[in-house]
Amino acid sequence: MASYTSDTILGDIVTADPSRARILERFGIDYCCNGQRPLGDACTAAQIDAGELLAALNAEEPGQRAGWADLDDPALIEHILTTHHRFLWEEFPRMSALVDKVARVHGPNHAELTRVREAFDELRHKVEPHLRNEETALFPEILARSGADGPISEELHAALDENMTQHDRAGQLLAELRQLTSGYAVPPDACPTYTAMLAGLEEIESDLHMHVHKENNVLFARMLANN
């Protein structure tokens, strides 16, 4: 069984055992955008008891190492496209309609839904062009460079940095949506549509966290390791 300490790198925890992601999310720990931090530093920044989190991580039965963790660059990119990009292209339109409907119907009794709709709209309008850029520009550039020796170009380095900055903003919006919905808690007066909206938002959060982790802490990290 793995034994985690305050020095364990967050991204390494999830790459070695993706089932641990849900524990980190439950404690409000960002393992994707800030996945290169030691666990102890992340707990200090989030004002979370590191001992409590470590106890939860170490008590969990070990899962299997992610199959995607050992894929080469072309296979990992294909996995990201078919697993995460496809999911978001399908879910964003569906969830936009759902969020709009819930905000319109339940907004008079839940003032926070106005900001939920605004934050979700911003998330979609930032992430969709981001996906398109990855598919048409960044991923082809990575594939052209994959397997080569020596440092990557300044242009590719800048593109990776910009991509990770955009990931940070998406992470901030996801955190705001979680805060606005009290952790996606279903209110007493919620109808089935309201409940479905909360479940859908939480699913997008979970998927995007893992999506960004695979890019920032695995795919992009491989490229940057050459510099």
pLDDT digits (tens, 9 = 90+) for 47-67: 999 999 999 998 877 766 668
Distance of CA 33 to the CA centre of its chain: 7
Last residue of a domain, one of 66, 97, 121: 66
What Rg do the C-alpha atoms of the chain give, in angstroms?
19
Amino acid 61: pLDDT: 75
Residues 163 and 105 in one domain: yes
Burial 185-218 (b: 16+ CB within 10 A, else e): eeeeebeeebeebbebbbebbeebbbbbbbbbbb
- pLDDT value at position 164? 96
CA distances from 218 to 161, 174, 224 (A): 14, 21, 10
Are both 43 and 83 inside the same structural domain? no
Q: Which residue in 81, 85, 56, 58 sits closest to 71, CA to CA? A: 81
- How many independent structural domains does the chain possess? 2
Q: Give residue 227's pLDDT.
A: 66
Q: Taking all residues of the chain, what is their mean pLDDT, rounded to a whole number?
A: 93
Verify that 45 and 82 share a domain, yes or no: no
Q: Which residue has the tokens 């991204």?
A: 11
Q: Using the 8-state DSSP alphabet, how is residue 9 labeled?
A: B
Between residues 110 and 58, the one the model is more confident about: 110
Domain residue limits at 127 = 73-226
